[in-house]
Structures are given as C-alpha cells and as structure tokens.
Amino acid sequence: SNFIAYWGQSSAGSQKSLGDYCKDSSVDAIALAFLYQFPNTKLDFSSNCRSTFPGSDLLHCPDIAADIKYCQSQGKAVLLSMGGAAGAYGFGSDSEAQTYANTVWDMFLGGSGSQRPFDDAVLDGIDLDIEGGSTAGYAAYVAQLRSHFEASSDKSYYITGAPQCPFPDAMLGSTLNSAWFDMVFVQFYNNFCGLDAYPQGFNYEQWDAWAKSQSANKNVKLYIGAPGSQSAAGRGYVDASKINSIVSDIRGKYSSFGGVMTWDASQAFDSSSWGQSVSSGLKSGGAQKRAMDPYSGKLISTRAANVTAGALHARLELIESTALEADSADTFAFLVRIQSVGQPIQRGWEMRIPLSAGIAVAEASAQSHHIKVHEDMLVVADGGSSDRSMAVAFWVAGRHAGNEFGLPDPARIMLFA
C-alpha cells in the first residue's frame, strides 16, 4: 500500500525541496505539479525552479533534476502531472496528441530532446490530472506514450490518472475506459462523494466495479485521494485516524485498493504529522495470526500482506516453521512465500525485509534468487530466472534476543522494480 504525494504548487504557502520530501520514508512516490499548459509546454513548480533555456520560456531545473535522481535512488517513483485545476491545455485531435506524446517522451522520459527541463534525469511516468478543456486526444496520447514504453528496455514507466470521484469522471471518463492506466488516484474531495461522506455517500465501490469490469487494465490499482490538511481542499478533509479507519475497511473489501494519494506534500507534511500518520497506517497491515499447522498439528504464527512498487504487485506470506526442531527457546525459523499478483514482471526486482532488533539470521537461501542480510534487512533479489511469475519460497533461520520471536510485518517490506 503506497503513499503518493503531489509536489510543486506550494499550496500551504511554501514548500520544501523535492529532495527533502524524499528523505521521509513515509513517501513512496511523488507527482510533480504541473505541466499546466500543452501542447505549448509550460511548467510551474511554484518558485522551486526559476531559470529558463536561452531564448525560451521553458523552465530549466537542474536542482530539481538532482532531486529526482535522489528520490529514485531511495526507491521512490517520480511522475510528471499534466493539467491541474488552473491551466490552458488540451488537444484538438488524436494526431496532435500523438505528436505531443513524442515531445513528452523526448523532453521528460527516455527520449533525447535538445531541451530537457530535468537534463538527463528520466522520470518514471506521466499523470493526467485533467480538470478542464477538451476531452479529445487523451487515449491516443496514452497509446503513443505506451508505444515508446514498450520499445524501451531501460526501465518501467507508468501512466496514472487523477479523476474526480463523481462517476464517470467528466473529463477522463472515456479515456479511463479505453487507455491502459497503471494507477488511478481518485480525488475523494471537493465533491459530494468524498471522504467526508463516508460511508453512505463515499463511492469507492463504483470505482472498484469500474476497475474490474470497464477498465482496459483489469488489474489497475485505485488510490484514495485525500486532502493533506483542512486548508488543502474546500471539503473532504478527514483526520489521520479517520482515514486510517476508512483504509482498513476498503482494503479489506476491495482487491483494487492500491494506497492513498494526497494533495499535497506541503499540506500533509509541513505543518502536521498527518502524512506520516496516514502512511504509517497504510503500512501497518499484516497482523500476526495463529493457525494450525496441518503437518505438525501445532499452532503457528502467520502474516500476509500485499505490497506494491509502481505497476508491480506481489502477495507476501510469512509462516512460522516447525520443520526445524528448535534446540533452544531463542531459535527461530520461518518460510517466506512471494507471488506476483496480476501482470508478470518484465525485469529484475528486489525486496527488502526489515528485521527486528536482536534478530540474527544464520541461514537464508532461495533457489535461483539472490538473498543476503544487509543493514538489518533481509534482501531478496531476482536472480535472472526465466520464471517471471516472481514465485519464490525460502527458509530463514537463526536466533533472536528476548522472550518471544515475532514474524516481520510484511506490510513494511519494501519492493523495488
């Protein structure tokens, strides 16, 4: 369950640098706001970038470029959001949209344009926050971008959308039905169907039904869009404890749930701990349960959760083992099972499992995969096997300090792809 924040509009009145927000482990991905005018490209990151290319009004942002690279080094995806509530944008035809997709590829993604606002920093994808103008061309735009994605083997790229919660969305509705989106950040605020209308008026169920029956990508992940503070939206703000309760309810009912999106980083993090509290709630799943081992007849502990990295989704199960006879009370052993959910993975991946203090791993191995202990983490990486289902099972054994061993929380496991 990921926590995604928009950044770049200083909606709280000021904002920290992009890199500062990426230092916070609460944030899993950031959308830069906004590319607010197109196809005549204009950007605005509210005073965090002021320089332009010679003879042009196109922003040139080397400091943000360095921050993008830092964020990515921390395992955080960085997207560029197009549109916004205020801006002059839109396409007159599919042909114009396709041409502009080529421009965006060369300017911000894996292409090689002569003027790149973030120099050689390569963004992880494009977000469509279309709130005005014409509805024409966006499906063609997404399709053209995806043709570039498919031709590139360097990295994975993502397409996301940010519709309003009334269904269907007035601006993106038809595009969401026909184009392939990896994630959809539904804005459950400033509308009658927002978080403040939960449970009777909150319409996540409608969006879940769309995801599973109408979406081009039947494994698309839906995010609950939430204001980061009372002043971040006209209506729809709820405090951290309330949204954590809503999240617990939604992810228990709907497999489409992917996480929480917030508008925006300055509101969610700078004047309160709302962002940290919501992110912590998202990642506190995987409660430890007791179950009967069918082989030994003993009660054992189990934990399970879904983890997400961009468009990659995996199910993790940790199961206490009775196969190895404990020679003392401080010995432990458990089985880890990992399985991709939805589309198969297309390239290497890495998973980092935080270990509690006092845990000493003596044995860990996984056939056809790399596994090691590094800085209090158990690190499992794709070994280049031909099995793209990400099906992995391995033993972990060792000793622990204290009276009782607890399985690691799978919801806190970090997945990189």
Pairwise CA distance, residues 139 & 148, whole Å? 15
What is the maximal distance between C-alpha atoms in the chain? 76
Q: Which two tokens stand for residue 348?
A: 């290497």
pLDDT in tens, 3-44: 999 999 999 999 999 999 999 988 999 999 999 999 999 999
Query: What pLDDT is stored for residue 317 in this prediction?
Result: 76
Question: Which of the pair, 251 or 417, is modelled with greater confidence?
Answer: 251
Query: What pLDDT is stored for residue 366 in this prediction?
Result: 67
**E strand or H helix that includes residue 399:** strand 392-400
CB atoms within 10 A of CB 302: 19
Query: What pLDDT is stored for residue 229 in this prediction?
Result: 96
What DSSP string runs through 216-278? SSTTPEEEEEEESSGGGSSS----HHHHHHHHHHHHHH-TTEEEEEEE-HHHHHSSSSHHHHH
Count of alpha carbons within 13 Å of 2, Cβ hemisphere only? 28
Pick the catalytic residue: 131, 205, 350, 363?
131
Q: Which of 277, 204, 284, 211 is nearest to 238 (CA)?
A: 277
Q: Which two tokens stand for residue 371?
A: 């596994």
Contacts 24+ apart (CB under 8 A), 322-328: 322/293, 322/295, 322/296, 322/298, 323/295, 324/395, 324/397, 328/399
404 has catalytic annotation = no
- Please, is 99 exposed, middle or buried when counting C-beta atoms within 10 Å of its C-beta (0-12, 13-18, 19+)? middle
pLDDT at 313 over 70: no
User: How large is the average pLDDT for residues 155-160?
Assistant: 94
**E strand or H helix that includes residue 332:** strand 331-341
142 within 8 A of 94, measured Cβ to Cβ: no
Report angle CA 359, 372, 309 to the nearest 5 degrees: 95
Mean pLDDT over each residue of the chain, to the nearest integer = 86
Of 91-105, 272-286, 366-380, 393-407, highest mean pLDDT: 91-105
- Please, is 284 exposed, middle or buried when counting C-beta atoms within 10 Å of its C-beta (0-12, 13-18, 19+)? middle
User: How large is the average pLDDT for residues 51-72?
Assistant: 96
Q: Which two tokens stand for residue 228?
A: 């980061």
User: How large is the average pLDDT for residues 315-327?
Assistant: 64
135 within 8 A of 180, measured Cβ to Cβ: no
Query: What pLDDT is stored for residue 260 in this prediction?
Result: 97
Query: What pLDDT is stored for residue 224 in this prediction?
Result: 98
**One-letter amino acid of 320:** E
**One-letter amino acid of 7:** W
Distances (CA, A) of 249 to 70, 132, 246, 282, 385: 35, 33, 5, 12, 37
pLDDT in tens, 368-403: 678 888 877 888 887 665 455 555 666 677 776 655
Q: Which two tokens stand for residue 28?
A: 């899993």
The per-type count for the chain, helices as H runs and strands as E runs, is: 9, 20
Query: What pLDDT is stored for residue 328 in this prediction?
Result: 55
pLDDT in tens, 163-215: 999 999 999 999 999 999 999 999 999 999 999 999 999 999 999 999 999 99
Q: Which two tokens stand for residue 411?
A: 């919801």
The answer to pTM > 0.95 is no
Query: What pLDDT is stored for residue 173 in this prediction?
Result: 97
CB atoms within 10 A of CB 392: 24
372 within 8 A of 394, measured Cβ to Cβ: no
- Contacts for 155 with CB less than 8 Å, ≥ 6 apart: 110, 122, 124, 347
